[in-house]
Amino acid sequence: MVKIVGIAGSLRDNSYSVLALQQATNRIKALGAEAEIIDLKEMKLPFCDGGDDYPDYPDVEVMRAKVKAADGLILATPEYHGSVSGVIKNALDLMSFEHLSGKVAGVISVLGGQSNSNALNDLRIIIRWVHGWVIPEQISVGQAWQAFDNEGKLKDEKLSQRFDSFAQSLVENTAKLRG
| Per-residue model confidence (pLDDT) at position 115 | 79
Are 76 and 18 in contact by the 8 Å Cβ rule? The answer is yes
Give me the domain span that covers residue 157: 3-178
**What's the rounded Cα separation, in Å, for the pair 126 and 16?**
22
- Give the three-class secondary structure for 69: helix
What pLDDT is recorded for position 173? 97
pLDDT digits (tens, 9 = 90+) for 137-150: 999 999 999 999 99
pLDDT tens per residue, range 81-103 = 999 999 999 999 999 999 999 99
- Exposed, middle or buried: residue 134 (CB in 10 Å: 0-12, 13-18, 19+)? buried
Show the low-confidence residues of the chain (pLDDT under 70): none
pLDDT at 63: 98
Please state the domain count of the chain.
Answer: 1
CATH of the domain at 99: 3.40.50.360
* Residue 103: C-alpha distances to residues 9, 27, 53, 56, 173 (Å): 18, 19, 22, 27, 11
Residue 57 identity: Y
